[in-house]
């Protein structure tokens, strides 16, 4: 990390300000509650000005009943089109002022620079509020110099020069002249600047207002008016004779000038590429997937090998769940994050993505073989075809069939793993060969092993071995893959562990953990798994307890887990139990019998069963990766 640059925590404050100001408004509101540092940054005037330049347009909608009583206010963003013809999906916030102003007829006057001006229809009280900050202030009443007021209207605006918000009160005054038996009408204008707590009378004008409240434009509030000739007019105003009268609040200029921006620092576009990579690699996987569609710069960064490696180090653990029917036909695959505990014993809230391969492989019985370094290996049960895919990148490749040297093959199994030294993904095909010896009227069994490295398009035969596989597919751990095997033909229970090194392509034996049960069910109740990046053996052959042994780096077996099954309800007795992961709170997540996913809590001495989308399913521990299969030029990569 020192070579590639600093992390986001080492960014200058001006860069952090720039990043935060580009977030959606709702996200910024949430960021204010994260820590005091973010709260102070977001509360700063410079941040407010910077965000205002980038803030998308919104609509403020005021709902009221037929009598004019306030119901609620909603703020709806205009970044996307309404879905479908509705503003509900674009709603940023909703607020109700009934608790603060019961039985009030508050109506919108105007919006200016993020503030709202509201007025009460009966009392003419004025309220200024900021919906985002949840703040409001009630202004003192204007000091009218005349009593014969027949109409009061308000306007609201912002002066970018002085940074002041101003309220304009326009009072329509009717004056009777007994000598001529006529009436004259004038407008008395008062101005209130926020923070002064006083109204200033700036004079009277001979105009009558028409239409709605004033419209603030570039530091001015504009209203339609009509000159008064001393008599009342009951008809429509003449458009040609209309005039506009305005109270000048100041001329327009940018809220943040270029010199100010230079003083406060660069924007995120000027960040070094290594900083941008570090920021993107810390985002949730789903957000990174969306970022690939933002621009070509982000797409190229995320497609780079260095980014893929950096993200892989920080990627949270996942589960790949394969749902299938009773006949084995593929239904769907889901990838579920394990960052938090499943919600209400269900994995639906943690679902990262869902993909279906039925369109690409109709009527196929695709099943999970293994997950390694972000890639999945799938096999077809009937044809033994092998498929490697990356769910995040939506890429897959179908491997050529192995070149078996024998025809008497009674079983074919596959394994899949990753070599961290060479960076290669390899598939191992194990073919069980039965050879008949007429002289002795006996049969011998051997394993023929072939290896396929992604990008080579060829299978290599590395020899035959006198072993019989037991249990599920091999388990990859730290550049090796392990199987349960036995050497004796008639013996059903496994007697050792056989490993294959993906770097050297050599095999070796590992002794089983001590004190295994001699129960008759042992051959179906022992399984391999991975706990905290170490190989483990789970023994569920006893009716009374379950034991998990972990192989440490020194090659010594240690009993890590011991569970008394007699004190638990609905525990799977004498079935194969496979450890999957250790959750954040220390619970162990396990899978059993193709239809049970559960965890065990050591503190409460209890088990917790999780609901999935179907009755029959298979599960593998997985991590998300942005490595592309297109890096292997020899492969024919397709998209699903």
- Between 420 and 570, residue with greater pLDDT: 420
Query: Which helix (DSSP H) or strand (DSSP E) does residue 296 occupy?
Result: helix 296-302
**Structural domain of 464:** 315-631
Q: What is the pLDDT averaged over residues 60-64?
A: 83
What tokens does 172 get? 């329509």
Which spans in 22-89 are helix H? 25-31, 36-43, 45-54
On whether both 267 and 336 belong to a single domain, the answer is: no
- What are 400's two structure tokens? 């050529």
Do 325 and 262 belong together in one domain?
A: no
Q: Is residue 309 part of a domain?
A: no
What is the DSSP track for 467-524?
Answer: -EEEEEEEEEETTEEEEEEES-SS--S--EEEEEETTT--EEEEPPPSS----TTTTT
Boundary of a domain, candidates 241, 271, 301: 271
- Domain-ending residue, one of 237, 271, 305: 271
pLDDT, position 143: 77
Given this model, what pLDDT does residue 241 score? 31
| 237 and 322 fall within a common domain | no
Does residue 267 fall inside a structural domain?
yes
pLDDT score of 269: 65
Does residue 248 sit in the same domain as residue 342? no
Residue 471 reports pLDDT greater than 70:
no
What pLDDT shows up at residue 616?
Answer: 77
> Is residue 178 a part of any domain in this protein?
yes
Q: In what helix (H) or strand (E) does residue 297 lie, and over which residues does it extend?
A: helix 296-302
Q: Is residue 402 part of a domain?
A: yes
Listed in sequence order, the residues at least 6 apart from 80 whose beta carbon sits closer than 8 Å to its beta carbon are 90
Q: Which residue has the higher pLDDT, 27 or 414?
A: 414
pLDDT of residue 388: 94
Q: Do 444 and 350 share a domain, yes or no?
A: yes
The domain that holds 411 is classified in CATH as: 2.120.10.80
pLDDT per residue as tens digits for the range 274-324: 888 888 888 888 888 888 887 888 889 999 999 999 999 988 888 898 887
Mean pLDDT of the chain: 77
Which tokens in the block code for residue 598? 């559960």
Q: Phi and psi for 279 in degrees, rounded to 5?
A: -65, -50
pLDDT at 357: 81
260 and 364 in one domain?
Answer: no
Regarding whether 323 and 250 lie in a shared domain, the answer is no
Q: Is residue 57 part of a domain?
A: no
pTM of the full structure: 0.58
pLDDT for 246 equals 33
User: How many whole angstroms from its chain centre is CA 513?
Assistant: 41
- Residue 520 pLDDT: 41
Residues 322 and 253 in one domain: no
**Count of structural domains, the chain:** 2
Inside any domain, residue 320: yes
Residues 360 and 211 both lie in one domain: no
Q: Are residues 546 and 436 part of one domain?
A: yes
482 touches 524 (CB < 8 A): no
Does the pLDDT at position 193 exceed 90?
yes
State yes or no: pLDDT of 546 exceeds 80.
yes
Same domain, 433 and 555: yes
Q: In the predicted model, is pLDDT for residue 127 greater than 60? A: yes
- Over residues 221-257, the pLDDT tens digits come to 765 554 434 433 333 333 233 333 333 333 333 333 3
Given a cut of 70, whether residue 176 has pLDDT beyond it is: yes
Task: Assess if residue 103 is contained within a domain.
Answer: no
- Among 107-111, 355-359, 561-565, the range with the most confident prediction by mean pLDDT is 107-111
What integer pLDDT is reported at residue 392 of this predicted model?
A: 92
To which H or E segment does residue 426 belong?
strand 424-437
Q: Is the same domain home to 259 and 180?
A: yes
Residue 225 belongs to some domain of the structure: yes
């Amino acid at each position: 990390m020192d070579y590639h640059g600093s992390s986001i925590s080492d960014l200058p404050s001006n860069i952090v300000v720039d990043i935060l100001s580009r977030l959606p408004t709702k996200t910024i509101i949430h960021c204010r509650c994260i820590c005091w540092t973010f709260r102070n940054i977001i509360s700063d005037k410079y941040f407010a000005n910077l965000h205002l330049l980038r803030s998308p347009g919104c609509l403020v909608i005021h709902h009221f009943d037929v009598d004019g009583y306030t119901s609620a206010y909603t703020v709806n963003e205009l970044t996307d089109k309404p879905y479908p013809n509705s503003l509900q999906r674009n709603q940023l916030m909703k607020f109700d002022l009934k608790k603060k102003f019961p039985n009030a007829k508050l109506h919108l006057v105007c919006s200016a620079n993020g503030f709202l001006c509201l007025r009460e229809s009966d009392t003419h009280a004025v309220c200024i509020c900021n919906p985002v900050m949840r703040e409001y202030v009630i202004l003192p009443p204007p000091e009218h110099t005349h009593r014969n007021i027949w109409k009061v209207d308000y306007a609201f605006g912002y002066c970018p020069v002085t940074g002041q918000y101003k309220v304009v009160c326009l009072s329509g005054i009717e004056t009777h002249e007994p000598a001529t038996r006529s009436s004259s009408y004038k407008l008395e204008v008062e101005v209130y600047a926020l923070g002064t707590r006083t109204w200033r009378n700036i004079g009277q004008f001979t105009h009558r207002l028409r239409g709605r409240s004033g419209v603030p434009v570039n530091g001015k509030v504009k209203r339609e008016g009509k000159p008064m000739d001393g008599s009342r007019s009951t008809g429509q105003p003449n458009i040609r004779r209309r005039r506009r009268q305005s109270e000048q609040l100041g001329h327009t200029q940018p809220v943040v000038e270029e010199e100010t921006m230079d003083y406060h620092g660069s924007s995120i576009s000027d960040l070094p590429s290594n900083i941008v990579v570090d920021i993107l690699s810390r985002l949730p996987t789903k957000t990174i997937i969306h970022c690939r569609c933002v621009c070509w710069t982000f797409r190229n960064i995320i497609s780079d090998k260095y980014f893929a490696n950096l993200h892989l180090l920080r990627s949270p653990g996942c589960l790949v769940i394969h749902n299938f029917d009773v006949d084995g036909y593929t239904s769907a695959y889901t990838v579920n994050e394990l960052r938090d505990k499943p919600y209400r014993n269900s994995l639906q809230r943690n679902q990262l993505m869902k993909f279906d391969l039925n369109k690409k492989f109709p009527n196929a019985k695709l099943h999970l073989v293994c997950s390694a370094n972000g890639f999945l290996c799938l096999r077809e049960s009937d044809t033994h075809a092998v498929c490697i895919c990356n769910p995040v990148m939506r890429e897959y490749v179908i491997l050529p069939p192995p070149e078996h040297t024998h025809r008497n093959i009674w079983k074919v199994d596959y394994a899949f793993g990753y070599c961290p030294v060479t960076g290669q993904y390899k598939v191992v095909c194990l073919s069980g060969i039965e050879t008949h010896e007429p002289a002795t009227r006996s049969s011998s069994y051997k394993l023929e092993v072939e290896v396929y490295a992604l990008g080579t398009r060829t299978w290599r035969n590395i020899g035959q071995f006198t072993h019989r596989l037991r249990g599920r597919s091999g388990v990859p751990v730290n550049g090796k893959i392990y199987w349960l095997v036995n050497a004796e033909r008639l013996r059903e229970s496994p007697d050792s562990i056989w490993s294959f090194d993906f770097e050297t392509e050599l095999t070796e034996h590992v002794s089983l953990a001590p004190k295994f049960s001699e129960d008759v069910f042992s051959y179906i109740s022992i399984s391999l798994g991975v706990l905290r990046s170490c190989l483990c053996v789970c023994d569920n052959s006893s009716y009374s307890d379950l034991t998990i042994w972990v192989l440490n780096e020194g090659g010594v077996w240690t009993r890590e887990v011991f569970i008394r099954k007699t004190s638990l309800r609905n525990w799977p007795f004498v079935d194969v139990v496979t450890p999957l992961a250790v959750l954040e709170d220390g619970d162990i997540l396990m899978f059993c019998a193709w239809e049970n996913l559960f965890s065990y809590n050591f503190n409460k001495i209890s088990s917790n069963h999780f609901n999935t989308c179907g009755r029959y399913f298979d599960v593998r521990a997985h991590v998300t990766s942005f490595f592309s299969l297109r890096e292997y030029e020899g492969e024919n990569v397709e998209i699903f």
